[in-house]
Amino acid sequence: MKGENINIMDYESIMENIKKENGEVPNPIQVLGDLDESLVVNHMMDKKFVMSKGAIPGKYKALMLLSAAIALDSQACIMMNTKAAKKSGATVEEIMEVFALAKFAKAATTLSNAAPAFEWLLENK
């Protein structure tokens, strides 16, 4: 059967690993686990799956995840992915450049989303 070789992770081990890697378990993960441990296990299996792919080096995956966390306004994920990027070999300069890129992307999205309002203002001066 496909996927048989994936090691099933258990909830307690996952929580210990998260705490070991990050110094703490981010509140959203803790609360989710308190409500339904299987959702945390599934989330971390998904992470393990995408991180196991080899086409993109781990450092760049960590930086991309950080950029997405910034753009999506996830404070816990920003902290977690900043730590992961640094641990994966990213320099402070690379991490700060990701912050600048994500800020620009978010600003560009804001401008794009506001375009209909701008058009309305032009028509209704």
- Residue 16 CA to residue 5 CA, distance in Å, equals 23
Band of residue 8 on the pLDDT scale cut at 50, 70, 90: low
Reading the block at residue 36, the tokens are: 């339904």
CA 80 to chain centre: 8
pLDDT of 83 > 60? The answer is yes
Which parts of 1-125 fold into alpha helices (H)? 11-22, 27-35, 37-52, 58-71, 75-87, 92-123
- Tens of pLDDT, residues 89-116: 999 999 999 999 999 999 999 999 999 9
Q: What is the pTM of this model?
A: 0.77
| pLDDT, mean over the chain | 90
In the predicted model, what is the mean pLDDT of residues 57-64? 96
